[in-house]
Structure formats: structure tokens, C-alpha cells
Amino acid sequence: MRKLIIAGSLVIIVAVVAYAAVTRLQAKSAGDSSSQDVARATLDPALFQGKVHDAYLAAARYPAVLVQLHCYCGCDKVEGHRSLLDCYRDRHATTCPVCIGEALLAAKMTGDGAPVEQIRDAIRTRYAHGE
């Protein structure tokens, strides 16, 4: 009987510790909106052709980069987008040359090993003139 009580107590302790760890991780990720943003998928690149396909593919491959980039087409004001990645969660980027250009530039620079700060500066230099 004593062994059963000890075993039961150990199971309860392990469950409480595991619950506390999971709760802490959930609270941490809930406070980090960029990790939540990255987790939301883009539309399937196979739905598109040409440069649009390539841009959606870039967004699917590099969501952690695109979520850190501003889109300079004005979709933040009109559609409520919070980052370039949002343009690829709906069909907005299918008809927007700014979104397409930014994503393709970001993908090329990421592939070349550029840090996100350098990518952000290059996009700002090339596309911010519209604001």
C-alpha cells in the first residue's frame, strides 16, 4: 500500500511539473506575436504561376524573414496587414507588384545569407518611395 501511495504521489508531481512547463511555454509564445504570425500558413504556391508562384513560394520558404518585413504597398492601411508575410496569407499579393518584388528580393538575399536588417534596408531603399 505504501508503494502505491509513493508511486501515485510521483505521478502527480510529474503531471504538475509538466503542466507548469507547458503553461509557461504557452504564455511565452502568446506574448510573442511574431511566432504566432509565422505559424499561420501562406496560400499554397501551387495555386499560382510565374512570378506570383515564385513569390508565394518565397513566403512559404522564408516566413520567419517575411514576418519581420514591412510591405510598402499600403496594405497595412487598407487591409490591416502587419507584415509582408500577411500579403501571402490571402490573394492580395497575386496582383501587387510591390509585394511580389519585396518577397522575391527577400528570398534572394536570404538565400545569399544576408541578415534581416540588410534585407529590410534594401526593401526600404527600393520600395519606400511610394509612402
Q: Rounded mean pLDDT of the chain?
A: 82
The CA distances from residue 130 to 52, 65, 71, 72, 125, in Å, are 21, 22, 11, 7, 11
* pLDDT of the residue at 7: 66
Give tens-digit pLDDT for 83-113.
999 999 999 999 999 999 999 999 999 999 9
C-alpha gyration radius of the chain: 21
- For the chain, give the DSSP string: -HHHHHHHHHHHHHHHHHHHHHHHHHHHHHT-HHHHHHHSPPPPGGG--HHHHHHHHHHHH-HHHHTTS--TTSHHHHT---SGGGGGSSSGGGG-HHHHHHHHHHHHHHHTT--HHHHHHHHHHHHGGG-
- Using a cut of 0.75, tell me whether the model's pTM lies above it: no
* pLDDT of the residue at 23: 46
What is the residue whose three cell numbers read 505521478?
11
Q: Give yes or no for residue 43 having a pLDDT over 70.
A: yes
